[in-house]
Chains A and B, each alone.
Chain A
Amino acid sequence: MTERLDGPQAPSQDGAPSPRADTPKKFRLGPSPAIAIVFLLPAAILLGIWVVYPIVYSIFRSLFDASGSVFVGVENFTTIFTDRGTLVTIRNNLIWVIVAPILVTVLGLLFAVLTERIKWSTAFKLIVFMPMAVSLMAAGVIFRLVYEQDPDKGLANAVLTTVNDTFSSSQGYPDARPREGDASPVAAKDGGVATKQPAQAGQPVLIPLVGIKANTMPTNAAPALANPPPGGLSGTVWFDFTPGGQGTSGAVDPQEKGLPGMTVEAVKDGQVAATTTTAANGTFRFDGLAAGSYEVRLPQTNFTAPYRGLNWLGEALITPAIIGAFIWVWAGFAMVLISAGLAAIPRDSLEAARIDGATEWQVFRKITIPLLSPVLLVVFVTMIINTLKVFDLVFIIAPASVQPQSNVIALEMWRVSFGGGNNQGLGSALAVFLLILVLPFMIMNVRRFRREER
């Protein structure tokens, strides 16, 4: 490498003498050092001010405490590896670095290879590339809405619930429950509701429930009937709450409504002896049931809550959710780079392979990927650097209550330096730590460029 750099400026003295005698003693291909310095100066000054000085100062500052006046040595760095909060950020960054670049590169490759074969490839590429035109902050705002818990607002859960509802529909009373306390004749049991005392024919079974939300109350519900027509084991399931709170608990009051469509089971010795459904006024009756005492219960199926989608912004899914947003932004970029690389692959080698009888998969595995590997590596390394410095997406998508669980080093660096703590010593230490993490990939990238140039 040194050879090549020195080469044009100073040809070796011990080499063959200059072929032409009339040339001046020193000859050069490039400009004189003075001119070179003049031309280099602006860039060097800018680099010095905005890159070199901040790095050096950050390293210096990281050795001091929050106030900046007390030298603490490496204490800030030990804090990074002992504080539980920062350890979480390191863990998250690790997840990011392992998952995000691979997914982005694979998706980019997939899109690039597939678009080669479709007619509307330009339109498709344009659409996939579009998110690149959106700033990461705006992307964060978009995805905060996408991941909203309420399916009426959040797209992700709207999709999930729609898909779910086409396969199973729930029409029950998810909030219904027996009233608390010993006075209630029924109690919660195995996710359902069951009578506390065995019931017999001739004695109406009262099953009072409370807590039913106005929007789950069926429109056909009629005022509850306390005494169903006699004969057989019968009873009433009703919403035991009079508006205004005047009613007697456990008794059917005039304004209280029955709960229609409730499945009721009569159970004897753990076996379901009969099943029936309540009418609009909440009454039910088991026909043709053998005499004896039964436990009357409302099975769990009456109370299953409707599917509300996933808790994207909760503790468990927050990092995968943010990585999803990151992929949305960067997949298009990877695709464009890779498809440009694909275009440069010599067609003849592909065709030769096909003529030799290789399957499409073999062509892809053995020819396309090896020939693409330089581009893939560039995309991959760029993505690693991008994931290490991820900040905006996490800052915006994660609600404050889960931000510590989704925190990453770059965000933590900003938080400890400026948000609340104002500990710029620790912040600088985190910055230096981040720099050290990015450095190997930078060096790798620079090496690659050099090799390509040669």
Chain B
Amino acid sequence: MRKTAIVLAGLAVAASACGNAPTTTPTQPAGTAAATSGGAKPLQGQKIEVAAKWTSDEEKSFRQVLKAFSDKTGAEVTYASTGEDTGAYLGPRIKGGSPPDIAILPQPGLVQQYADEKALKPLTPEVISQIDTNYTPYWKELGSADGQVYGVMVKAAHKSLVWYRTATFEEAGVQPPTNWDELVKAAQTIADSGTAPFSFCGASGWTLTDLFENVYLSSAGPENYDKLSKHEIPWTDPSVATALEKMAQIMTKKEFVLDGNSGALQTQFPDCVTKVYDQKKAAMIIEADFVATPVAQSGEKVGEGAKTFPFPKVGETSPVVLGGDIAVALKDTPGAMALLEFLGSKEGGEIWAKLPGYLSPNKNVSPDNYPDELTKQLGQTIVSAGDAVRYDMSDLAPSAFGATDGKGEWKVLQDFLRDPTDVKGAQTKLEEEAKKAWK
């Protein structure tokens, strides 16, 4: 008996050790084979690792761009997917001293953070001159920290859009609204017709911050927007209350929210898009241009069954909120710099622009390259708007506040979606979280 117990105990310890299931997601080595031909290629045999958060179709498009670079230079480029939480992937790799050559950061907030940690390498003059010719000063600034240029904005996202399924609008007999009251009225009519007007992606916190930013930029104006971005005014400010109350108008009624508020909180992006265009359960999604990719997967044509209208005015301003991804070098190698130069160039941008689901912030990439009408229009607005637009507020914030699953603004706005009547409570919690993050 005793002996058995000892053996069993040993087994138990061994098993509990084995219980540590591997949780690391494998970084997929890219299928980008190095080009076979040519001795004239300057970077033959060089290995470059690029880390970005893109998966599925966005990743596929990016890999094609990387392949174009490999074919041109002979460098071998591998792609590693960071997953949704870029900081969680890069942090340990930077600390461990083996960062990827290039990382594509989803937020300017991270550029500042990593620059403070001295993890970023300043760009070479060739890359900077490429930026100067192709980008407006606003974009250049977003890739800089403390006066030093670290990043190239390689991809932009237009976040002031509302997507709708045309059939539902026709069925309900409503027109795309131009201001908030019209939107609420249209939503009511669509709900009366038997379709839920909104499909929220509540499980993906960033979709809620995007919504808030549009409402806030429009109702409180760009000046307040800038102040709130820097936490110069508190989140308990009345202007925030106004914006949250406006949001509550479309979140409170149970017939407005597909699957109810608790169901919406379990719906991740892009499942909320599938629910509209594939399962045909709801009418609208308030999200950026990149919704086009899951729309296409659902078998709907952008511009026919799926259309967009600009985010309706809530106050004085027509909001234009943009997002974007910034490529930075974590290692100072010729390969890394050459790839950054390529990504920031007209040539690289045009290769990418021809693929679906991409918007370029590069002013020299002609909108004619885009594969569809909608992207052409959006590309035009981004390039022409220049400094008049505002960058996604949550992405300008420290990432603990504006870009972490289950924390900060994401979490508070999710709680707000759960109970949209508690405007005061949401404001207090936002301010609490903001104080922690801006410490």
The answer to whether A and B belong to the same complex is yes
Interface residues of A (CB under 8 A from B): 85, 132, 135-139, 148-150, 175, 177, 179-180, 210-214, 217, 239, 241-246, 311, 313-315, 333, 337, 340-341, 344-346, 371, 374-375, 378-379, 382, 385-386, 389, 391-392, 395, 399-404, 407, 414-415, 417-422, 424, 445, 448-449, 452-453
Q: How far is the CA of A28 from the CA of B395 in the complex (A)?
A: 70
Contact of A452 among B9, B171, B265, B407 (CB under 8 A): B9
Q: In the complex the two chains form, is B4's CB within 8 Å of A386's CB?
A: no
- B92 at interface, CB cutoff 8 A: yes
Q: In the complex the two chains form, is B188's CB within 8 Å of A245's CB?
A: no
A401: chain B residues within 8 A (beta carbon): 202-203, 205, 265-266, 406, 411, 414, 417-418
The residues in B between 198 and 246 inclusive whose CB is less than 8 angstroms from any CB of A are 202-205
Q: How far is the CA of A417 from the CA of B92 in the complex (A)?
A: 9
- B405 at interface, CB cutoff 8 A: yes
Interface-facing stretch out of B10-18, B295-303, B366-374: B10-18
Q: In the complex the two chains form, is A418's CB within 8 Å of B193's CB?
A: no
Q: In the complex the two chains form, is B405's CB within 8 Å of A403's CB?
A: yes
Contact of A420 among B19, B87, B263, B265 (CB under 8 A): B87
B266: chain A residues within 8 A (beta carbon): 148-149, 313-314, 399, 401
A150: chain B residues within 8 A (beta carbon): 259
Q: How far is the CA of A371 from the CA of B2 in the complex (A)?
A: 11
Q: How far is the CA of A242 from the CA of B171 in the complex (A)?
A: 8
Contacts known (A311-B262, A400-B203); A418 close to B8, Cβ less than 8 A: no
Which 9 residue pairs spanning A and B have beta carbons closest together?
A: A245-B173, A420-B404, A135-B21, A403-B406, A210-B192, A136-B21, A419-B88, A401-B265, A421-B400
Q: In the complex the two chains form, is A385's CB within 8 Å of B16's CB?
A: yes
- B285 at interface, CB cutoff 8 A: no
Q: In the complex the two chains form, is B6's CB within 8 Å of A452's CB?
A: yes
Distance from A270 Cβ to chain B, minimum over Cβ atoms (Å): 29
Q: In the complex the two chains form, is A179's CB within 8 Å of B8's CB?
A: no
- B194 at interface, CB cutoff 8 A: yes
Q: List 13 A-B contacts (CB under 8 A).
A: A210-B191, A214-B194, A243-B193, A313-B266, A340-B8, A341-B8, A375-B8, A392-B23, A399-B266, A414-B88, A415-B406, A418-B88, A420-B408
Q: How far is the CA of A422 from the CA of B193 in the complex (A)?
A: 49
CB nearest to A243 among chain B residues: B171
Q: In the complex the two chains form, is A245's CB within 8 Å of B202's CB?
A: no
Interface residues of B (CB under 8 A from A): 1-2, 4-6, 8-9, 11-13, 15-16, 19-23, 85, 87-88, 91-92, 95, 113, 170-174, 188-189, 191-195, 202-205, 255, 259, 262-263, 265-266, 268, 399-400, 403-408, 410-411, 414, 417-418
B1: chain A residues within 8 A (beta carbon): 344-346, 371, 374
Q: How far is the CA of A414 from the CA of B23 in the complex (A)?
A: 12
Q: In the complex the two chains form, is B407's CB within 8 Å of A415's CB?
A: yes
Contacts known (A311-B262, A395-B23); A213 close to B195, Cβ less than 8 A: yes
A385: chain B residues within 8 A (beta carbon): 16
Q: In the complex the two chains form, is B87's CB within 8 Å of A419's CB?
A: yes
Q: How far is the CA of A242 from the CA of B170 in the complex (A)?
A: 11
B202: chain A residues within 8 A (beta carbon): 401
A417: chain B residues within 8 A (beta carbon): 91
Q: In the complex the two chains form, is A211's CB within 8 Å of B5's CB?
A: no
Distance from B285 Cβ to chain A, minimum over Cβ atoms (Å): 17
Q: In the complex the two chains form, is B204's CB within 8 Å of A400's CB?
A: yes
Q: In the complex the two chains form, is A213's CB within 8 Å of B194's CB?
A: yes
Q: In the complex the two chains form, is B12's CB within 8 Å of A379's CB?
A: yes
CB within 8 Å: A-B pair count: 173
Q: How far is the CA of A448 from the CA of B62 in the complex (A)?
A: 57
Residue from B85, B87, B172, B266 having most chain A Cβ neighbours under 10 A: B266
Q: How far is the CA of A402 from the CA of B188 in the complex (A)?
A: 29
A374: chain B residues within 8 A (beta carbon): 1-2, 5
Given contacts A214-B194, A341-B4, A421-B399, 6 further A-B contacts (CB under 8 A): A137-B21, A401-B411, A419-B88, A419-B404, A420-B404, A452-B2
Distance from B410 Cβ to chain A, minimum over Cβ atoms (Å): 7
Residue from B9, B172, B403 having most chain A Cβ neighbours under 10 A: B9
A448: chain B residues within 8 A (beta carbon): 9
Contact of B174 among A148, A211, A245, A395 (CB under 8 A): A245
Contact of B92 among A341, A344, A400, A418 (CB under 8 A): A418
Q: How far is the CA of A452 from the CA of B262 in the complex (A)?
A: 52
Contact of B113 among A244, A403, A422 (CB under 8 A): A422
CB nearest to A176 among chain B residues: B194
Residue from A150, A242, A401, A453 having most chain B Cβ neighbours under 10 A: A401
Q: How far is the CA of A420 from the CA of B418 in the complex (A)?
A: 24
Contacts known (A379-B12, A385-B16); A241 close to B194, Cβ less than 8 A: yes
B12: chain A residues within 8 A (beta carbon): 337, 378-379, 382
Contacts known (A401-B203, A453-B6); A241 close to B19, Cβ less than 8 A: no
B16: chain A residues within 8 A (beta carbon): 382, 385-386
Q: In the complex the two chains form, is A418's CB within 8 Å of B203's CB?
A: no
Q: How far is the CA of A344 from the CA of B202 in the complex (A)?
A: 54
Contact of A344 among B4, B15, B170 (CB under 8 A): B4
Q: How far is the CA of A379 from the CA of B191 in the complex (A)?
A: 55
Q: How far is the CA of A399 from the CA of B269 in the complex (A)?
A: 12
Q: In the complex the two chains form, is B403's CB within 8 Å of A211's CB?
A: no
